[in-house]
Amino acid sequence: MSLLYRTGNVLDCPERPVTFGHVVNDCGRWGAGFSGQLSVRYPLAERKFREWAAPQYFGDPPYRPGEVQVLSGVDGKAFNVTVANLCAQRGVGGWDRRVDYGALRACLTKLARIHAAAPSMGLIVMPRIGCGLGGGEWPTVRSIIETTLVACPVIVYSLEVL
């Protein structure tokens, strides 16, 4: 695995093609944290997430912790920018840890399989997933990334120096 670290805005990653990976919650909410930044740059990502999450309000969730939604071409160019929504956070709000490490492991394992089948997805680029609003511990999350995305090129962005 080649895990690289950079400081700055994840969405300013200059390499293409690229897959932006991030954690979403299991209750269909979008707009806080990294997903809010995605909405500004790639509105299609939010629309497609909401379509994926909508049925859960009627009692038939199309997604649950451990599931992944991969959205290719959210920038209007096929396979240039992909977004991977990783359902690995239980609920929203509060100060408790909401990231579900088991669900995160399941999501990243699925993402690794998807990436292996479609290497045109390029680099996997992400913030320190699950550690912001999800309240996770970076050493634990880093270990999960290193053991699941073994064959994938990954860049982790941080707004501050690690």
Residue by residue, what is the 3-state secondary structure of 53-65? HHHHHHCCCCCCC
Does the pLDDT of residue 143 top 60, yes or no?
Answer: yes
Whether 158 contacts 7, CB under 8 Å? yes
pLDDT tens digits, 66-90: 999 999 988 887 668 999 999 999 8
pTM: 0.91
pLDDT for position 161: 53
pLDDT tens digits, 125-136: 999 999 988 889
* Intra-chain end-to-end CA distance of the chain, in Å: 19
pLDDT for position 162: 46
